[in-house]
């Protein structure tokens, strides 16, 4: 079944370039069953939001995803991925660290 494409005017709260990447994700995504390429485009959106310091929380994103035609369950899942992705990027890499060979810890130099 054909779904109408999401339009830029529906997502004015997002900065222009971020909106472009978001629209590429929502318009290309298989909304009933996400494909690995869909997830890859979504991760690109997360990285862009982080790099450009976009002020968008997971609840605002969930609203955008629902407006774009995603089911509530998928919107919840994606908004949780978004939150975790932003948190991981925010904390980044541990400075001056090396892997100590154990599965549970990182040792600082």
In a domain, 62, yes or no: yes
Q: Return the H-helix or E-strand segment holding 87.
A: helix 72-91
Q: What is the CA radius of gyration of the chain?
A: 16
Total domains present in the chain: 1
* Per-residue model confidence as pLDDT tens digits over 37-84: 999 999 999 999 999 999 999 999 999 999 999 999 999 999 999 999
- pLDDT given at position 24: 92
In a domain, 6, yes or no: no
Buried-exposed string 80-104: b where 16+ CB fall within 10 A, e elsewhere: ebbbebbeeeeeeeeeeeeeeeeee
CA atoms of 107 and 19, how far apart (whole Å): 40
* Per-residue model confidence as pLDDT tens digits over 78-104: 999 999 999 999 887 655 555 555 555
Q: Which range marks the domain in which residue 89 is found? A: 11-108
In a domain, 2, yes or no: no
Contact 11, 64 (CB under 8 A): yes
In a domain, 5, yes or no: no
CA atoms of 90 and 85, how far apart (whole Å): 8
């Amino acid at each position: 079944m054909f779904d109408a494409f999401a339009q830029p005017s529906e997502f004015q709260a997002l900065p222009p370039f971020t909106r472009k990447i978001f629209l590429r994700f929502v318009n290309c995504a298989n909304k009933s069953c996400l494909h690995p390429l869909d997830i890859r485009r979504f991760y690109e959106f997360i990285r862009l939001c982080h790099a450009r310091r976009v002020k968008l929380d997971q609840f605002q994103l969930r609203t955008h995803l629902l407006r774009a035609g995603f089911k509530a369950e998928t919107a919840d899942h994606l908004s949780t991925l978004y939150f975790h992705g932003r948190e991981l990027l925010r904390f980044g890499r541990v400075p001056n660290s090396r892997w100590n060979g154990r599965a549970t810890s990182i040792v600082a130099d």
